[in-house]
Amino acid sequence: MKSFLRPLPVISSVLLVLLFIAGIFTPGLKAQTAAQPAAPADGVSKGPVTEEKPDPLKRRLTDKERFKQQKELKGELHGVYKKWVDEDVHWIITDTELQAFKSLGNDEERDQFIEQFWLRRNPNPDSPDNEYREEHYARIAYADEHFAAGKPGWKTDRGHIYIAYGKPDSIESHPSGGSYQRPQEEGGGETSTFPFEVWHYRYLEGVGDNVDIEFVDTCMCGDYHATIDRSEKDALKTVPGAGLTQSEQTGQSKKADRFSGGGIEQLGAGPFSSMNQSKQFDRLDRFAKIFAPPPIKFKDMEQFLTTSKILTGPPFLFDVRTDYVKVTNDTILVPLTLQLRNSDITFSNKDGVAMGTVNILGRVTNINHKPVQTFEDTVSVQTPSELLQRSKNNMSVYWKSLPLRPGLYRVDIVIKDVNNPDHVGTWTRSINVPKYDDDKLATSSLILADQMERVPSKDIGAGNFVIGNTRIRPRVPSGVAVPVTFHRGQNLNFWMQVYNLGIDEKSKKNDATIEYQVMDMATNKAVLQTQELTSKLSPNADQVTLEKSMPLASLQPGKYKVTIKVNDGISKQEVAESAPFTVD
């Protein structure tokens, strides 16, 4: 009987490798592919046998391919979870949180994540209602109702900012554009603009104070977009000879110069041109912060603000002083001064320098437990290693100025010794920010300071310990109802503002008497008694600032009290402030 078996040609090793990679040839099938089957028993051939080859698409996945597929499946969100990420929390979820959410494997984990997401932002974790979440969805509804422009309101830039930060403190609106007199900061001169708005926030957490955000509707379709370039609203910017700045009108510059600088703004030349150029990076940095979810810098310290966590190490003690200074009727400056003892700070020595570092995290919440301000900062103390023991007798002072509206607040502050992570301190107090009525004579806090000096004009209203045009560093008491302490070799500096002085209708001048008194509490006798008239200080103003300095070398060690009394001869009102101090 003739056999139908025939020898196969030799297959090269390269071809075998290619077949193996393609999944057609595998070692387990080698015996079947090496020869054709024998003839049937009846000896009759029914044609060649067609062998079924494995489907490459149905082959078994490698471990690497299977892991990649599972990862991709986890990253694909559907239904309510996709809407939650893409719409509900699109503007407030951080990149880290988004990455973590997409890595979850089932709906139960996603539900738990969402619950924790809102809980982390709840200003009052013990409350069954999450005020942050309720306010967030109310903002989305408002944005959709007021900012829609061919797309949902929450997708617009105005909707983004409103959802992230809430209602601005003020809005400068130009809904029809038209004639516009540029401020000097933008070059001056008159032009015509597209519709635009400027939103002003007195303070934005993670961004800073006095934040202005400009939105421009260049398409004239209601879709206002945020811009960093204040010249973008200028409808005549590219029209030759139109909408010139003051400098361009006088021939001191050309309009073409606006487009040759390569900066982020195309403002015309003016008296503030060099200043605008120097602030470009600051504007870019602020713009980036505005459109980014604000991260929490000291995440490990936040738990001490939101929970009653028990300290595991020795408490890090520190003292805090609060003062109140009027800015407007609706805005009160609240300087917080923290005082730390250098002996309580852990120092590390390197290259002959002793370094101590303290992280500070603070939060201000209103009567509804809603956070209104958060601040984070680091205090570093450096001294030569050989002088470390002597410097431990000194104090380190930190200052933070917070603009707040009148009302009742709670202030929580946490500090952490970086070189000793278990060394943590907390401070909690309620503060009642006063309201200054226009018709009532009033004063700021009376601040006793160890340093007081004028600041350069460029630093007015900015920087540590600066109020107005004065740098004043308050002395901080070491406890409640404990007077501050001065040394005999120091000066006693005191600072106070007086508000709502009466103005005579005819002379348009004020007429109040300021009396200063320093009393020795042991003898109950005055060691200083003097007075001055407001008409000599600032005759036409309804507000005056009192700044006095007194050497203490002539005073004996003991307890004293300084009192400032204001007698307004026009409104017939009196007000007085006093503060105790000790001389050692």
pLDDT, tens digit, for every residue of 551-566?
999 999 999 999 999 9
Find the Cα–Cα–Cα–Cα dihedral 474, 367, 405, 444, rounded to 10°.
Answer: -40
Q: How confident is the model at residue 21 (pLDDT cuts 50, 70, 90)?
A: very low
pLDDT tens for 462-517 read 778 999 889 999 999 987 778 999 999 999 999 999 999 999 999 999 999 999 99
pTM: 0.54
Q: How confident is the model at residue 254 (pLDDT cuts 50, 70, 90)?
A: confident
Whose tokens are 């009525």? That residue is 437
Nearest to 191 by CA among 231, 141, 151, 139: 231
Separation of alpha carbons 303 and 487, rounded Å = 40
229 residue type, one letter: D
Percent of the chain with pLDDT over 70: 81
Separation of alpha carbons 281 and 275, rounded Å = 12
Angle, CA 234 vertex, CA 233 and CA 236 arms, to 5°: 150
262 within 8 A of 268, measured Cβ to Cβ: no
Average pLDDT over residues 9-38: 42
305 within 8 A of 361, measured Cβ to Cβ: yes
305 within 8 A of 424, measured Cβ to Cβ: no
pLDDT of residue 75: 47
pLDDT-wise least confident of 77-91, 141-155, 293-307, 426-440 = 293-307
Whose tokens are 């949902």? That residue is 152
pLDDT tens for 500-511 read 999 999 999 999
